[in-house]
Structure 1
Amino acid sequence: MIVKADQTMHEKVMNYLSDEPALNLFIIADIENFGYETDFQEIWIELDDEEQIQGILLRYMGNYLPYAKGTINAKDFSKIINKDTKYEMLSGKKEITEQFRPYVKFERTKETYFAELKDNSLLNKNSSREGIQQAGLQDVDSLIELKLQIKEFTIRATARQSLEQALKTKTGRTYFMKEGKIVVSCASTTAENSLSAMIVGVCSHPEKRNQGLATQCMEALCHDVLSQGKALCLFYDNPKAGSIYKRLGFKDIGMWSMNFPVHMTVSENNITKEPLIK
């Protein structure tokens, strides 16, 4: 039986999601930030005869995120998606989203590796934190200026607003290094919640690459987030990037699949940029 979740089910929902906090990063963050009673977000759950959760589907605006610990009731959850004329994307672990293919039509699919870090055993405990700062609102312009110089990044018009919002709401943090008045490297989290956080925006100034600066920022960031009992995760697109993250202790936990209907075009609004370490 599929029912719409409300606040009275919150503890049961979070207990179900907490077994895989990195994989459920976006669902957990959306529930903690926006709850169950908004017009742009809805959560449905499938209950068995003993009223135990067997699967979850979250809608945030036109984006749908399904999750189950094995087989999901894709047929019945798909009826919800197919009624939505503003459906833009179905995303999640590939093994889950693939179960929707017989019922929801996808025009395009983008897949990335999904990696998780649970402990700091491989982080360099002797890495210097000298010069590493945690960003405040006063640093936003300098951080955006750095990102504008990274050719691998596409900076949206809303980038400054998004960064300010993350800092204000503590759903993201950024560690950075400066030389003089210029930010030369940084690493950030996004979708940070009580159980997990995602690493994004790891980069160094084009003239300061291959000096380990971004790695120092990332190691400090990872250490501090892990020390709060949170799991870390990130997307990456190629094995070269993956090898760098794995040296820090990240382990692949699957492929993340983003699936778009016929009327949607894959854009920067739909995907999270691959972190860049140089």
Structure 2
Amino acid sequence: MIRRLTAQDHEAVMALVQPKAAENVFLIGDIEAYGYDDAIQTIWGEFEGEALIAVLLRYDSNYIPYATGTFNVDAFGQIIMQHEGPFEVSGLAHLVKPIIAQIDCAIIQQKDTYYAACYALAYEPNDSNLQAVERLTAADYAEEVEMLLSIPEFKHAQISVAARQRAAQYKTGRTYIMRQDGQIVASASTTAENSQSAMIVGVGTKPGYTRQGYATYCMEKLCRELLAEGKSLCLFYDNPAAGKIYKRLGFEDIGMWTMVRYTDNH
């Protein structure tokens, strides 16, 4: 049986997703931030008897499934196909790919990235290297956003002052920066922060200041702080060179993440 979930199902939902907090960073974060009644999202659950075995979350136009075993792929696909307007399906590849095989709609974009998690740093950072790392404050939002957008790989990223403001307001993200020559030259951020986990994003160094360890220092301080709070960390990467850097910190691959964007199916 599949039905829409309510706040009364919260305990069962958390019992399903929390054991894999890194894999479910978006699910946990969205549920903690918006609950079960906000118009921005809807959550469905599949039950086997009284046991919740799978969930499908819609946040705005993005659908994310999660299950620990087999689930009703056809039914989840049918729910998604009822969406009006362009939509997106994303999640762990082994869960998403069976669903997208059921969706008869034109694909705008499909992307597969490595998904990695960290539960402890592989080494203890050198505190002397981190003395110059500081937490980003509102006064520097614009400069930090401009710095990231100057990096070729972030040229088309959805990074903005408004996003930094929302992250601070809802406590869904934080950023650490380094300065050199009186300017911000590197940063590392989180998004989708929740009580259990956080996603690392926006790790970058301003052109002309690369290969000096600045972004790594930001990562070290950010990760150490989050891990001390008892949170699992995760991130996406599609560059093997970047993957080696993250793995030196203690990240391990936990799967592939698939994202598919579709046109309006009506």
What is the TM-score when the length of structure 1 is the normalising length? Answer: 0.89
How far does residue 170 in structure 1 lie from its aligned partner after superposition? 1.4
More helix per residue: 1 or 2?
Answer: 2
- Is 1:120 the counterpart of 2:83? The answer is no
What is the match of residue 29 of structure 1?
Answer: 29
Distance of 1:231 and 1:82 partners within structure 2:
33
Q: Any idea what the Cα deviations from partners look like across 1:18-59, whole Å, max 9, x if unmatched?
A: 01111111111111111110122000001111x111100000
Supply the AA of the counterpart residue of 2:24.
N
Contact 2:186–2:218 (Cα < 8 Å) also in 1: yes
2:67 is the alignment partner of 1:68: yes
| Counterpart contact for 1:191–1:198, Cα < 8 Å | yes
Cα gap change, 1:155 to 1:110, in 2 (>3 Å): closer
> Does the Cα contact within 8 Å between 2:148 and 2:154 map onto a contact in 1?
yes
**Aligned ranges for residues 104-183 of structure 1 at < 5 Å?**
104-105=103-104, 107=107, 108-125=109-126, 128-155=129-156, 159-183=160-184
Count the aligned residue pairs.
Answer: 263
Q: Which residue of 1 aligns with 2:227?
A: 226
Q: What is the CA–CA distance in structure 1 between the aligned matches of 2:126 and 2:46, rounded to whole Å?
A: 44
- Write the distance in 2 (CA, Å) between the matches of 1:147 and 1:101: 33
Please, what TM-score do these two structures have when normalized by structure 2?
0.93
**Conserved? CA contact 1:149–1:206, under 8 Å:** yes
Gaps of 5+ in 1: 265-278
- Is this contact kept in 1: 2:43–2:58, CA < 8 A? yes
Question: C-alpha distance in 1, partners of 2:166/2:16?
Answer: 28
Q: Deviations over 1:88-132 (max 9, x none)?
A: 111100000122134213624210000000112335355621111
The corresponding residue for 1:8 is: 8
- Opposite residue 29 of structure 1, the aligned amino acid is G
Distance in 1, Cα, partners of 2:172 & 2:158: 20
Question: Gapped runs of 5+ residues in structure 2?
Answer: none
> Which protein has greater RCO, CA pairs closer than 8 Å, 6+ apart?
2
Structure-2 change in CA distance of 1:127 and 1:117 (3 Å): farther
